[in-house]
Chain A
Amino acid sequence: MKKTYKIDVDCANCANKMEEATKKTPGVKDATVNFMALKMKVEFEDGADVDSVMQNVIKNCKVVEDDCQIFL
């Protein structure tokens, strides 16, 4: 399953870091962060609980870039 989220982040490099962090989160199959469109596309693994996975994604993203937001 794929979902798109709006995000807010200031720099392109931070967006790349968010992408990395999201990809490493358990339950996420693949992710792309589009800095220019300020959107994040997340592909979840089958049977993953989207809400809890996204909570972890936010936590992981905050670790690599404190000043970022993901709008669920």
Chain B
Amino acid sequence: MTDKQKNLLIRVIVAGVLMVILTLLPLDDYPILRFLLFLIPYLTVGYDILRKAFKGIKNKQVFDEHFLMAVATIGAMALGEYTEGVAVMWFYQIGELFQSYAVGKSRRNIAELMDIRPDYANIENEDGSIEKVDPDDIEIGTIIVVQPGEKIPIDGVIREGNTTLNTAALTGESVPRDVKCGDEVISGCINMSGLIKIETTKEFDESTASKILDLVENASSRKSKSEQFITKFARVYTPAVCYSALALAVIPPIIRFFMGLDPIWSQWVYRALTFLVISCPCAIVVSIPLSFFGGIGGASNQGILIKGSNFMETLASVKTIAFDKTGTITKGNFEVSDIHHSPLSDSELLEIAALAESHSTHPISRSLMLAHGKELDMSRVTDISEISGAGVLANVDGHNVAAGNLNLMRHIGITAKECHSTGTIVHMAIDGKYVGHIVISDELKENSEEAIAELKKAGIKRAVMLTGDKDKVAKKIAEDVGIDEYYAELLPADKVTHVEKLLKECGEKEKLAFVGDGINDAPVLSRADIGIAMGALGSDAAIEAADVVLMDDDPMKISKAIKIAKKCIRIVYENIYFAILVKLGCLLLGALGIANMWLAIFADVGVMVICVLNAIRCLAVKNL
């Protein structure tokens, strides 16, 4: 508890005890003494509210909740309802205390969940001793020491030692990762086993941990529609209730007076005062940001970064998902899976293919080199010419080698054998003679099928796959994992066009999400209603481009993100409807004279406590 809260708590307790004693004392025969005595607990618990109300009037900010409370309680005291006057103030303050405690508590909870902020960095002095310094002061290229059990404070490259890292705080998944000298490491990971020395490659502010924290903290600054609605609502609602209260206090008695009846002023003023107590908009105003804050914090603990409350709303109404195949449904690591029709041995053919493609940066050539697995002697290759979208022509050991797709074979006048396997096929020819082909395929992720099924359960109507790969490959994958539609052989620009087409086909309140690996698909990510990048750990580009960032590449996280968003939005709406209905109901009862001050207190403080407790549920997202 803060000092402010402690102070308020003491005042609430003292005033409570005083009030109980005063109600028990036989004071009915001494009205003035009774009034003065009740003034003690009233001022003890409510003096600051009165002061704020007074300042509000002075600053021409009349209609705030302090004013409402001040008028209502002073009015009740003036009507001789001392117990109720003090009780309203007392409960109001209890409500304030509870609210401020709950908000503070969830701030701390989230800070704990996001416990990736490094507090210090170690640098080694010349005499070998280790000194703790502020990570802000570390310049790029400094060598820092991370001992076992410590957090890596700044992104960098290991220069000495090897160890196992725990990335749980970043990804939500506790899979240990082995790293060795020369590997890149990111801040926020915990060093589990060995001492390592890291050469920093970024400043503290630009490091992954700082960026993620910044992102989560700022997420609730992007306000959702429901927050904007409530802000507007509060602006209209409070003055409206105040004027109604005034009307209620004045108009009925006047009408009664002209009808020749007793105006019973005190009764109508009392009803107007209950109006004022009910009218406080705190319950909804505080519960909505609290819900979003909880939801965003809980999600980031699971390795899902949602960049704004507004995206939470969009995510909850996603009905169509478009996937970029590589890196989301498949692992994105192309592997040589087969070699067909070759008169040469597999390793010979692979070596020649790897040499021919050795100057290309295409993922296909990388996988050929990986499959070959040995150092290449580049001097064996000459006269390389790359034919874009077809393959490579090169001279290897004095032989003319062609490696590429069917188009390339046709281009150089060679009849190739068609392949029936799914995957990317590299046909090979040496000195004008066909020597077979290499099949390279991208593996499916183990849980892609399950992930799509979960998405369907989470209310996704349409799962679409967009890929630059061949139709045959796309069809097989779509069938295997249960994707409804696929569009194959697309260029990057085509993906944008297709997403635009899909956007048009979405219903009015239905949203479209695009899931990509964050590399090369920034235009599509931003074109969709909501862009989800996965496998983003260590990729700044992906974190920048997407609205929702999945730190690891587990496709199950997509449905989890949607479920978290749905839960959060459901809670927000529950609170909005519940609070508004109870308040309007109590206002009606109050106007009819059925509701007394006690019910009004429930409508104010009770509703607020219930809404806050409900909002706190947003944090619990682990088992969704």
* Contact among A16, A37, A39, A67 with B285 in the assembled complex (CB-CB below 8 Å): A16
For the residues of B in contact with A, the DSSP-based class is helix
Q: Whole-angstrom distance from the CB of B53 to the nearest CB of chain A?
A: 10
Q: Give 1 or 0 for each of A39-72: 1 = CB within 8 Å of chain B CB.
A: 1010000000000000000000001101100000
CB-CB under 8 A from A1, the residues of chain B are none
Whether A36 and B231, one on each chain, are in contact in the complex, defined by CB atoms closer than 8 angstroms, is no
Whether B285 and A36, one on each chain, are in contact in the complex, defined by CB atoms closer than 8 angstroms, is no
Q: How far is the CA of A66 from the CA of B60 in the complex (A)?
A: 12
Whether B282 and A34, one on each chain, are in contact in the complex, defined by CB atoms closer than 8 angstroms, is no
Q: Whole-angstrom distance from the CB of A32 to the nearest CB of chain B?
A: 5
CB-CB under 8 A from A32, the residues of chain B are 221, 223
CB-CB under 8 A from B41, the residues of chain A are none
Whether B103 and A36, one on each chain, are in contact in the complex, defined by CB atoms closer than 8 angstroms, is yes
**Closest Cβ neighbor of B231 among chain A residues:** A16
A13/B220 contact (C-beta < 8 A), A36-B103, A36-B290, A66-B55 known = no
Whether A34 and B61, one on each chain, are in contact in the complex, defined by CB atoms closer than 8 angstroms, is no
Whether B220 and A34, one on each chain, are in contact in the complex, defined by CB atoms closer than 8 angstroms, is yes
Q: Whole-angstrom distance from the CB of B204 to the nearest CB of chain A?
A: 16
Q: Give 1 or 0 for each of A10-49: 1 = CB within 8 Å of chain B CB.
A: 1111001100000000000000101111110100000000
Q: How far is the CA of A16 from the CA of B229 in the complex (A)?
A: 12
Asked if B82 CB lies within 8 Å of chain A CBs, one says: no
A11/B217 contact (C-beta < 8 A), A16-B231, A63-B59, A63-B61 known = no
Asked if B537 CB lies within 8 Å of chain A CBs, one says: no
* Contact among B96, B281, B293 with A36 in the assembled complex (CB-CB below 8 Å): B293
Whether B220 and A64, one on each chain, are in contact in the complex, defined by CB atoms closer than 8 angstroms, is no
A34/B52 contact (C-beta < 8 A), A12-B286, A64-B59 known = no
Whether B234 and A66, one on each chain, are in contact in the complex, defined by CB atoms closer than 8 angstroms, is no
Q: How far is the CA of A35 from the CA of B289 in the complex (A)?
A: 8
Q: Whole-angstrom distance from the CB of B579 to the nearest CB of chain A?
A: 13
Asked if B337 CB lies within 8 Å of chain A CBs, one says: no
Q: How far is the CA of A66 from the CA of B292 in the complex (A)?
A: 27
Q: Whole-angstrom distance from the CB of A9 to the nearest CB of chain B?
A: 11
Q: How far is the CA of A67 from the CA of B220 in the complex (A)?
A: 22
Q: How far is the CA of A15 from the CA of B202 in the complex (A)?
A: 35
Q: Whole-angstrom distance from the CB of A8 to the nearest CB of chain B?
A: 10
Whether B65 and A13, one on each chain, are in contact in the complex, defined by CB atoms closer than 8 angstroms, is yes
Whether A12 and B65, one on each chain, are in contact in the complex, defined by CB atoms closer than 8 angstroms, is no
Number of interface residues of B (CB under 8 A): 30
CB-CB under 8 A from A16, the residues of chain B are 231, 234, 285
A13, A32, A38, A67: which has the most chain B beta carbons within 10 Å? A13
B221, B288, B292: which has the most chain A beta carbons within 10 Å? B221
Q: How far is the CA of A5 from the CA of B196 in the complex (A)?
A: 36
Asked if B100 CB lies within 8 Å of chain A CBs, one says: yes
* Contact among B106, B285, B292 with A13 in the assembled complex (CB-CB below 8 Å): B285
CB-CB under 8 A from B106, the residues of chain A are 36
CB-CB under 8 A from A67, the residues of chain B are 52
Q: How far is the CA of A10 from the CA of B220 in the complex (A)?
A: 17
**Closest Cβ neighbor of B48 among chain A residues:** A67
**Closest Cβ neighbor of A21 among chain B residues:** B61
Q: Whole-angstrom distance from the CB of A62 to the nearest CB of chain B?
A: 8
A37, A39, A41: which has the most chain B beta carbons within 10 Å? A37
CB-CB under 8 A from A35, the residues of chain B are 286, 289
Q: How far is the CA of A63 from the CA of B61 in the complex (A)?
A: 8
A11/B290 contact (C-beta < 8 A), A16-B231, A37-B220 known = no
Whether B217 and A34, one on each chain, are in contact in the complex, defined by CB atoms closer than 8 angstroms, is yes
**Closest Cβ neighbor of A12 among chain B residues:** B286
CB-CB under 8 A from B64, the residues of chain A are 13, 17
CB-CB under 8 A from B282, the residues of chain A are 11-13
CB-CB under 8 A from A38, the residues of chain B are 107
CB-CB under 8 A from A39, the residues of chain B are 217-218, 221
Asked if B99 CB lies within 8 Å of chain A CBs, one says: yes
CB-CB under 8 A from B103, the residues of chain A are 36
Whether B281 and A41, one on each chain, are in contact in the complex, defined by CB atoms closer than 8 angstroms, is no
Whether A10 and B100, one on each chain, are in contact in the complex, defined by CB atoms closer than 8 angstroms, is yes
CB-CB under 8 A from B293, the residues of chain A are 36-37
Q: Which residues from 279 to 321 on chain B have a C-beta closer than 8 Å to any C-beta of chain A?
A: 281-282, 285-286, 288-290, 292-293
| Additional A-B contact list (8), CB under 8 Å, known A13-B282, A37-B293 | A11-B99, A12-B286, A12-B288, A12-B289, A13-B281, A34-B221, A64-B59, A66-B55
Considering the complex of A and B, which 9 residue pairs feature the smallest CB-CB distances, nearest first? A36-B293, A12-B286, A13-B285, A34-B221, A32-B221, A37-B217, A63-B59, A12-B285, A66-B55
Q: B residues bordering A, Cβ < 8 Å?
A: 4, 52, 55-56, 59, 61, 64-65, 96, 99-100, 103, 106-107, 217-218, 220-221, 223, 231, 234, 281-282, 285-286, 288-290, 292-293
